Amino acid sequence: MSIINKNKIKKISINSVLLAMGLIFSYIDYLLPIKFLSFGIKIGLSNIIIILSIFLVGKKSAFLIGLLKVIIMSIIFGNFIYFCLSLFPFLTSFITMCIIYDNFLLKYKNDKTIFIMSIPAAILHNLTQVFIIAIITKNHYLFRVIPLFIIEGAVSGCVIAGVTVFIFRFLCKSLKSKQFI
């Protein structure tokens, strides 16, 4: 088997494992009724996998993993509204993470990079969901809860970043590669 084929197989395998982990984390998040200060906000465990994917396999693969996760979870557990409440927040948070990754990664190669990526992405994820729900329900009063969703996004982003840093450090040690963080 040639080196090119081995590299492709390795890349497909890593992406498949990350997608499977993202689906498992999404399912756990779906099952656990962990709610913060307001109604229905989940912690977003699968975002750990998206952040790890950006660092481990790159933005393109991370995007495909996230998109497939949204599609598969929508088919299994949701409907069109579930799909919209997953896809558009994923897109806004992913774009946010990529912009931050591109602008801060070269300057700060430490734990702060993951926190700087995770917190704004979580906040924008929540705000996008509020906006979509307001459009669907035609209820502009939902915008009154935006400060609450910002706080919840910041808390969720911190928790997800902390867990991601822990997992990333463990992976770097396990794989005996150069530690990024």
Q: What is the mean pLDDT of residues 36-49?
A: 76
List of domains in the chain: 3-174 (1.10.1760.20)
Instruction: Please tell me the predicted confidence (pLDDT) of residue 18.
Output: 94
Instruction: Please tell me the predicted confidence (pLDDT) of residue 174.
Output: 73
pLDDT digits (tens, 9 = 90+) for 96-145: 999 998 887 766 667 788 999 999 999 999 999 999 989 999 988 888 88
Q: What is the DSSP string of the chain?
A: --HHHHHHHHHHHHHHHHHHHHHHHHHHHHH-----SSTT----THHHHHHHHHHHT-HHHHHHHHHHHHHHHHHHH--HHHHHHHHHHHHHHHHHHHHHHHHHTTT--SHHHHHHHHHHHHHHHHHHHHHHHHHHHT-GGGGGGHHHHHHHHHHHHHHHHHHHHHHHHHHHHHTT-----
For residue 73, pLDDT beyond 90: yes
Instruction: Please tell me the predicted confidence (pLDDT) of residue 181.
Output: 46
Give the model's confidence band at 38: pLDDT under 50 very low, under 70 low, under 90 confident, else very high.
low
> Of 49 and 44, which is predicted with more confidence?
49
pLDDT digits (tens, 9 = 90+) for 46-64: 999 999 999 889 999 999 9
> Of 131 and 178, which is predicted with more confidence?
131
